[in-house]
Amino acid sequence: MKNRFTLLLTGSALMAVLLFSFNPAKAQDDSKFSMDVTLNSDIFFGFYPFFAGSYSLSENTAFTFYGILWSGGTGGVQGAGGGGWGNWTEFGVGMNFDVADGININPQIGLLNGSLTSGLGTPVLGEGIVPNLTIGLDRAKTEGEFYLGYYYGFNHGNPTTLNFLHYWANYGFKISPFFSAGLHFEQLSLTGGSEIPSEDSFDYYVTLGPYVQFAKPNGGAFARFTSGGDLRSTDMVAKSGNNQPSFFKLTVGYSF
């Protein structure tokens, strides 16, 4: 009995030493990792979950990764089977650089999987790529973001591929620790592709309008609603075949 008690004490002491030795390193590694997860729904792309993570490499740099689980949406993309985009999935990696107080630049490149940009009609791995850039602003009283992504389709047997340009910019004020508001501009365009001349390019939507956001003051849960009107000309609306007089998007997420 005494030997068993001694063994138990020895084992407990050894475990305590191991926990003390390894937990600080684990805590340090955990502090280097962060992730945002959001659920989004907008008038064009439909419902799509999104995640973005990073692992700090130095005081001002971090490795980043992201993914978008696109749905079929209601875009009705011409030449790609309408909303049947083949379980369209985007996954990418990049690097983040903190360049000034509250300003970061994050170039990334994503891999597309599905049937939208390839125009194939059936899902395929690596149907295209997405070089993209995000610039973020997060200061005590202001916030903002600029995103630019170019969606380039590969030929997987269908000679007609599709290329898209998608970008947005927003800027707002933190009116309180809980509430912020500002303006959001966004544009999505078909820029061409193989066997699609540049003169056949058009805008699916061009929108400008306000957004409001509610967030947990110390970080964590947040919700944002974005709205806007259509800035396209009547001719562009007719050319796109996408009669969308307004835009709205709802996002709810959590920052880990």
pLDDT tens, position by position, 172-225: 999 999 999 999 999 999 999 888 877 789 999 999 999 999 999 988 999 999
pTM of the full structure:
0.84
The predicted model gives 71-93 an average pLDDT of 65
pLDDT digits (tens, 9 = 90+) for 20-72: 445 555 556 678 999 999 999 998 888 999 999 999 999 999 999 999 998 76
Question: 53-80: b or e for each residue (b if 16 or more CB lie within 10 Å)?
Answer: bbebeeeeebebbbbbbbbbbebebbbb
Architecture of the domain spanning 35-255: Beta Barrel (2.40)
User: What pLDDT, in 10s, does the model give residues 2-20?
Assistant: 444 343 344 444 444 334 4
Kindly state the average pLDDT of the residues 144-162. Answer: 94
Q: Where are the beta strands (DSSP E) in the chain?
A: 33-42, 46-56, 61-69, 89-100, 103-114, 124-138, 142-153, 163-174, 179-192, 202-215, 221-230, 246-255
Q: Give residues with Cβ within 8 angstroms of 32, minimum separation 6.
A: 55, 56, 62
Burial class, 81, CB count within 10 angstroms (exposed 0-12 / middle 13-18 / buried 19+): middle
Annotated domain spans of the chain: 35-255
**pLDDT of amino acid 80:** 39
The whole-number pLDDT of residue 144 equals 98
